[in-house]
Amino acid sequence: MTLLDQYATTRALTEQICAALEKEDYVVQPVADVSPPKWHLGHTTWFFETFMLIPYATAYQPFNVDYNYVFNSYYETIGARVIRTDRGNLSRPTVDDVYKYRAYVDKGMAHLITCGLSEEVKKIFDLGINHEQQHQELLWYDIKYILGHNPLFPAYGSSTIEGGLTAVQKDWISIPEGIYEIGYSGTDFHFDNELGRHKVYVNETSVATELVTNGEYKDFISAGGYSNFNYWHAEGWDWVRTNVIKAPLYWHEIDGIWMNYGLAGLEPVRDHQPVSHISFYEAWAYAQWSGHRLPTEFEWEAASDNISWGKLWEWTESAYLPYPGFSKVPGAIGEYNGKFMVNQKVLRGASVATSPNHSRNTYRNFFHPHLRWMYSGLRLAK
Amino acid sequence: MTLLDQYATTRALTEQICAALEKEDYVVQPVADVSPPKWHLGHTTWFFETFMLIPYATAYQPFNVDYNYVFNSYYETIGARVIRTDRGNLSRPTVDDVYKYRAYVDKGMAHLITCGLSEEVKKIFDLGINHEQQHQELLWYDIKYILGHNPLFPAYGSSTIEGGLTAVQKDWISIPEGIYEIGYSGTDFHFDNELGRHKVYVNETSVATELVTNGEYKDFISAGGYSNFNYWHAEGWDWVRTNVIKAPLYWHEIDGIWMNYGLAGLEPVRDHQPVSHISFYEAWAYAQWSGHRLPTEFEWEAASDNISWGKLWEWTESAYLPYPGFSKVPGAIGEYNGKFMVNQKVLRGASVATSPNHSRNTYRNFFHPHLRWMYSGLRLAK
Amino acid sequence: MTLLDQYATTRALTEQICAALEKEDYVVQPVADVSPPKWHLGHTTWFFETFMLIPYATAYQPFNVDYNYVFNSYYETIGARVIRTDRGNLSRPTVDDVYKYRAYVDKGMAHLITCGLSEEVKKIFDLGINHEQQHQELLWYDIKYILGHNPLFPAYGSSTIEGGLTAVQKDWISIPEGIYEIGYSGTDFHFDNELGRHKVYVNETSVATELVTNGEYKDFISAGGYSNFNYWHAEGWDWVRTNVIKAPLYWHEIDGIWMNYGLAGLEPVRDHQPVSHISFYEAWAYAQWSGHRLPTEFEWEAASDNISWGKLWEWTESAYLPYPGFSKVPGAIGEYNGKFMVNQKVLRGASVATSPNHSRNTYRNFFHPHLRWMYSGLRLAK
Amino acid sequence: MTLLDQYATTRALTEQICAALEKEDYVVQPVADVSPPKWHLGHTTWFFETFMLIPYATAYQPFNVDYNYVFNSYYETIGARVIRTDRGNLSRPTVDDVYKYRAYVDKGMAHLITCGLSEEVKKIFDLGINHEQQHQELLWYDIKYILGHNPLFPAYGSSTIEGGLTAVQKDWISIPEGIYEIGYSGTDFHFDNELGRHKVYVNETSVATELVTNGEYKDFISAGGYSNFNYWHAEGWDWVRTNVIKAPLYWHEIDGIWMNYGLAGLEPVRDHQPVSHISFYEAWAYAQWSGHRLPTEFEWEAASDNISWGKLWEWTESAYLPYPGFSKVPGAIGEYNGKFMVNQKVLRGASVATSPNHSRNTYRNFFHPHLRWMYSGLRLAK
């Protein structure tokens, strides 16, 4: 695939994810962690404009200089920005304006790509593509949250990515004790947090071949899992009580039956599917209750050739920390990963919402332990 | 004007106020006090549906039973509702849905009106009209807030209600000491809080014939009015410091010049216009600084024949309290006014955004003392 | 009584109120509105030092210049101060230090008084005495709160001011319609907020001769008074739900019996005593439920010759606002009353904790509507 | 040393730390993380009473059954308790009561110890001793915070533990790449979180032999370290801005000179001493600025034979996580460590406030990354 094709395909997919939305769905931000879809559309465009067109496309004129303030996410180097919790307060630029912005930047990018990219600029291009793919995944999370928290429970559509959520018979596979090489070693695209490849000593471990299912998780609920502090971290227990948590995010108990909001609307929970939209605290509590534990990210990576690729991001016990020798790139791009390496947990694998070429067994996703609006699930170790 | 004409005119004006908006402008709620315009459109419609069509139009079928949850404002009697701060989180019903809802209810109302209204139902009809007119005024406040707090400062339009903000030479008129009759006494529409008419003893007072202007208010700012606690209530001073208040709501000091966001966009402050969008705390502090005071609502009403009708709501010193003999109507309609009679201040007069037939000299508007997103101004007494 | 006797008596009473305390009881501040007793002891002393000794006793040396920062309450004119919510974080100065401070200032005051006070200084002296008497009352509130919110429920003592809480048969007395003179007119001590005396037109009203009793209030609770929004202001209803209020402040339902923490410890609620420690919201809700209302402060003053003097401060419907012609004294003393005239309610009468010479029928006490740690009660009007 | 001597020595030391306090100092809680000294005195006593005397001393009668509610820290198994932020609101039990409680429990313990302890009970005894030693260290932190945040800056005393804070010439020592055994392996007392000993692969690393000094840290401040986001985690940068952090906890810039509150009072910062009372965010930012990094806890343990024992707890890059095979003890004692293993950072070493027999090179201390009221410092790695 040519670079131009790669660019066009990626950009088109983002818009395709949004095609089923009403204009109003693009605007709202029901909680701080969810961004309005129109913000994602603008921000991914701003990324290409700011890091490629403005520095490298000589004749390029910015679409609107005020957009830098609106669509910068967290790059302190680039200047002031709308605070995160205010994204949903902006009715302007309109959805149509944002699509015009996309078209304008796409034209500029097509010209720049056609003229040829140096090795250095090619690296930023790859990052821009991967960045947009990450936001495609976030779009799925955020759209689901917006629709799934509306009192009318509107469906997104009938045939969606959630069709990929299936599960088969679980088994255990064993990892022999010894030294494992962890981290990325190839020449394809990867993030800085996957470097550098290094040796880790792993003890003998067994890891489940499949994820925990909704049916199994129902047993945890029925056994009083949410009302017994013994299964929880102290902070997890506070979180459960403060937020009156009783089940995974999109579950509603209606007339004694557990219903789940999926992209196709409100339906009974399907027992054989992997349980999803759970926090680290819940994953850990389930593991405690069942007499197991969560794998570390090293165990996970060591076992990765012999387990089914999940369709959910899998919580690990590992904190999100730098690998030995980690150093961030100078400049704004260096703000991509390193500055988040505290108080977050590593998730491994990939989800039904993940772009296929993000599925590396060295990929390190990360979220705060209380979050669960992403497609997150749970694999046991012992 | 027939009832049907009256109904159609009122409903059309609401939609006309919104005609200049983009769809996105209908959806957002930048602060708790501001409601999304589409919520106002739906809520005023819900009012007619809930209090007229459902109880009195026998064959009427509700448009969508879930809308009760979405569009109820604060009527505890009617049931659960979206919490106020969540109004801006709802992308559905869409703007088009809400306009369909309006058309559906309008059809039902036309039928009901044509069949004739009993005396009792006529009273609810009048309340519904006046209620919608109040929301027309709120729409102006909220639209201005939404556009005026957007970093792009989009204009609403060039020829707007704000053209009505002019001021002439100020003078003082004197009110003789004595007993005055206060409150509504006629047979036209009025709110329950204007009843019952009663005697109030008023001391000799002078009231300014005009409102305080932007130019005069600039002097207060230049004299350090916002940094000297002596002019402020203790709570007002806390408010100033906590919120870092330095000027009226829509004022921005840019390169040493005071700019004002108006519906026509960002422009220099016009000295001769009455100062607007100020809190009670600011009005009171200005009065202290200038060696005057605010009138009570009784003084205001006593003087009302001899002062220019303001184009802004005017803060008074009076707390919003029941008149002697006040009693609320039974049922949900009784929640209209009485339950707010604590911790609020009375404003008298009317603003450029007020429906003409709301302009009674007995009309009692009320807001919390820190609010200023409405068209509020200041008249002095001594 | 000579001025010196008056001074000595007042100061001794303050210390006598504290005599039953443990040292630890002097230090804590369980909520923002409650001040540590040692702070009251120091603050009343600081008042005499700051407003009398430093300006008028020429040879006087301040006890400790840092105490100004510690014991200033809210006088912005006098300089920076410990923020109110930090008073309970200060272990120093110790209780012994504060008593030394009192003795030191008392010696200075004795000398100043013996040398003779000018008319101007005599006025400040009177204010200082009345100020300390107000803090004696606050000491009762705060001591009760500190002990009554300790899980061990320690008693203050067996024979206390609460012995004064009795009630007799209730009746109604009628106030004829007409003009009443309201406000202070004599030459004894009074606060600036009682001036100036002015005419108020009052409608015909009936006022209860006695306060509502615990027994009557129990009926309100049994009838679901705390769970029916119809009886409450909107803000009152929020307050009830947010704070899970189910009864007056010191009531505890234990094994189905209403117990009350009094200064003598935890005992069953006595039905014939007036209900106390209720907020304005509760007083108003009770009145709504019983089909009555609260008197205004003008009705109260007009009826004051013919009603039993209560032993509790009585909530009125009136907001705390300036009387006509109110103007504050220049300088720090002017911060005494005027700057609190917003968002508060007037209470009339006096309580068992009030100094006898505070009991004027023109005395205007004031508190925010949600507060109830003071000795507050309820009289009905209709 | 006999068990009885060990018990008596430990208990006496706790009281000796408090001997210099005024009664008032025992009572206050200026922030949530700080507990009143009298609470520590009671809680350590409650620990012995609850986990040794009540279950194992057959004739023992609890001193006061209500004390369980007052002095339980966080053991959910044991029942309800005063919420942490309310500890400073309790004036009772008094300081004298708490000392009586200590004497009563000491008598019971002496009897129990004299009668002989089974192997199982001996383990709880060891835990109780180590638990009290941990609280001795917390007492130092909390006493310093209480006095150091008082506007009078009272000194604790002139000759204190802080005399141990010295520093010598810094050097680097190298750790060869390879497999290291990490965790406790002996038979003396240790905590469950130091088990089980396991292999970790460590890359070649250099670790500083000494801690970063105040003088070096001043350079970081002068170079704008607190105003350049590039050195900080995103969460650290938020913390700096929200709390307006400009220097270590007890530093005050007075007339251009950096002063430090130490137990001896306010004195100029001593350049040659190790910088202390810094958060993880600050330690990490300093390392970033200086071109180094923090060691992991594994590197630290591997280097521990060749570095000076610090006199401060040293922040590591490692998150506080379970070692392989970690499992918590059944029952309340199992709540000791495991449930805190999320969102905290490991600190290694020991401080001047640490009990000597806590100084194991496998000891894992842990705090949230924003905390800094403990004696925390910083060692560099590269």
* pLDDT, tens digit, 9 for 90 and up, residues A55-88: 999 999 999 999 999 999 888 888 888 888 899 9
Q: CB–CB of A233 and D339 under 8 A?
A: yes
Domain assignment present for B154: no
The answer to whether D24 contacts C92, with C-beta atoms less than 8 Å apart, is yes
Q: Domain check: are C85 and C31 in the same one?
A: yes
C-alpha to C-alpha distance for C113 and C129, rounded to whole angstroms:
13
Domain that holds residue A213: 162-377
> Which of the residues in chain B have pLDDT under 70?
168, 310
**What pLDDT digit, counting tens, does each position of D184-212 carry?**
999 898 888 998 899 999 999 999 999 99
**Residues D289/D230, Cβ–Cβ less than 8 Å:** no
Q: State whether C268 and C362 are in the same domain.
A: yes
Among residues B114, B148, B182, the one where a domain terminates is: B148
Contact D74 A234 (CB under 8 A): yes
When pLDDT is averaged across residues C76-80 and rounded to a whole number, the result is 82
Give residue D259's pLDDT: 95
Cβ separation C149–D92 shorter than 8 A: no
Residue C111 inside a domain? The answer is: yes
Q: Which residue stretches of chain D have pLDDT < 50?
A: none
H/E element holding C44? helix C37-48
What span, in angstroms and rounded, lies between the C-alpha atoms of D214 and D275? 4
- pLDDT of the residue at B312: 94
Q: Which of B199, B317, B318 sits opposite C201 (nearest CB)?
A: B199
Using a CB-CB cut-off of 8 Å, the residues of chain A touching B144 are none
- Cβ-Cβ pairs closer than 8 A, B with C, add up to 73
- A74 plus A171 within the same structural domain: no
Indicate yes or no: CB of B319 within 8 angstroms of CB of C324. Answer: no
User: What chains are in contact with A, requiring at least 3 Cβ pairs below 8 Å?
Assistant: B, D
In a domain, D25, yes or no: yes
Radius of gyration of chain D (CA): 21
> Coil, strand, or helix at residue B19?
coil
**Closest approach of A235 to chain D, Cα-based (Å):** 7
Amino acid (1-letter code) at residue A296:
T
Do the Cβ atoms of C152 and D86 come within 8 Å? Answer: no
Q: Do D66 and C150 touch (CB under 8 A)?
A: no
Q: Which helix (H) or strand (E) holds D96?
A: helix D95-115
C101 has a pLDDT exceeding 90: yes
Using CA atoms, how far apart are residues D52 and D105, in angstroms rounded to an integer?
A: 10
Tell me how far apart the alpha carbons of residues C40 and C309 are, in angstroms, rounded to a whole number.
Answer: 28
Answer yes or no: is pLDDT of A337 > 80: no
**CA distance linking residue A70 with residue A80, whole number of Å:** 9
CATH assignment at residue A289 = 3.90.1580
Q: What SS3 class is residue A43?
A: helix
- Residues B369, C343: C-beta atoms closer than 8 Å: yes
Closest to A154 (Cβ–Cβ): which among B24, B38, B92?
B92
* pLDDT tens track for A241-279: 999 999 999 999 999 999 999 998 999 999 999 999 999
Residues C204 and C136 reside in one and the same domain: no
- Chain D positions in Cβ-Cβ contact with residue C29 (cut-off 8 Å): 89
CA B40 to chain CA centroid, Å, is 13
Q: Determine the Cα–Cα distance for residues D157 and C137; give it in Å rounded to an integer.
A: 39
Nearest-CA residue of chain C relative to B367? C343
Cα D88 from Cα D366, distance rounded (Å): 24
Nearest beta carbon to residue D152 from set C26, C27, C93: C93
Q: Look at C89 and D154 and tell me if their CB atoms are within 8 Å.
A: no
D94 min Cα distance to partner chain C (Å):
6
Q: Quick check: is A133 in a domain?
A: yes
Within 13 Å and on the Cβ side, how many CA atoms surround D91? Answer: 28
D241 touches chain A (CB under 8 A): no
B25 contact A CB<8A = yes
D101 Cα to chain A: minimum distance (Å):
29
Same domain, C180 and C134: no
Contacts of C281 in chain B (CB under 8 A): 342
In whole angstroms, give the CA distance from residue B8 to residue B132.
Answer: 12
Nearest to A89 among B28, B90, B152 (CB): B28
Chain B: residue nearest C382 by CA?
B325
* B178 close to C (CB below 8 A): no
Q: Touch between chain C and chain D (3+ CB pairs, < 8 Å)?
A: yes
Residue A11 has pLDDT above 70, yes or no: yes
In a domain, B243, yes or no: yes
Instruction: Kindly state whether residue A110 falls inside one of the protein's structural domains.
Output: yes
pLDDT band at residue C69 under the 50/70/90 scheme: very high
| Closest listed residue to residue C45, CA positions, set C65, C74, C72 | C72
Minimal Cβ distance to A343: which of D200, D235, D324? D235
Query: Mutual orientation of helices D95-115 and D3-18 as an angle, nearest 10°?
Result: 170
Interchain pair D201, A199: CB under 8 A = yes
Side chain identity at residue C375, one-letter code = Y
The verdict on C178 and C104 lying in the same domain is: no
Count structural domains, chain B: 2
CB contact residues (below 8 A), chain C span 149-168, against chain B? none
Looking up tokens 């009830």, which residue turns up? C240
**Using CB atoms, which residue from C198, C200, C342 is nearest to B233?**
C342
CA distance A76 to chain D (A): 7
Q: Is residue D51 part of a domain?
A: yes
Contacts across the A-B interface (CB distance below 8 Å): 92
Whether residue D355 sits in one domain with residue D223:
yes
Contact B94 A150 (CB under 8 A): no
Residues B38-50: pLDDT tens digits? 999 999 999 999 9
Residues C136 and C184 in one domain: no
Same domain, D268 and D340: yes
Same domain, D249 and D363: yes
β-strand partners of C213 = C274
* B382: contact with C, CB 8 A cutoff: no
Same domain, B107 and B10: yes
Domain for residue D366, yes or no?
A: yes
Domain boundary at D148, D178, D203, which? D148
Alpha helices (H) along chain B: 3-18, 37-48, 54-56, 67-71, 95-115, 119-148, 214-222, 234-242, 280-289, 297-303
Does residue A133 register a pLDDT over 90? yes
Check CB contact of C93 with chain D, cutoff 8 Å: yes
pLDDT given for residue C288 in this prediction: 95
A324, pLDDT greater than 70: yes
Among positive and negative, which fits the CA dihedral D33, D37, D43, D44? positive
Q: Write the residue in C229, C325, C339 that is nearest to B76 by C-beta.
A: C229
Q: What is the pLDDT of residue A62?
A: 97
**CB-defined contacts A:D, below 8 A:** 71
**Contact residues, chain C, for D150 at CB < 8 Å:** 90-92
Last residue of a domain, one of A148, A182, A205: A148
Closest chain D C-alpha to A341 CA, distance in angstroms = 7
Q: CA C108 from chain center: how many Å?
A: 29
- The radius of gyration of chain B from alpha carbons, rounded to an integer in Å, stands at 21
List chain A residues with CB under 8 Å of B149. Answer: 89
C186 and C270 belong to one structural domain? yes
Global ipTM: 0.90
Closest residue in B to C344 (Cα) is B343
Tell whether D366 lies on the interface with A, counting CB pairs under 8 A.
no
Distances (CA, A) of C318 to B121, B324, D83: 35, 12, 38
C23–D94 C-beta distance less than 8 A: yes
Q: With contact defined as beta carbons under 8 Å apart, do A182 and A238 qualify?
A: no
What CATH number does residue A91 fall under? 1.20.120.450
Return residues 293-332 of B near C (CB < 8 Å): 317-319, 321-322, 324-325
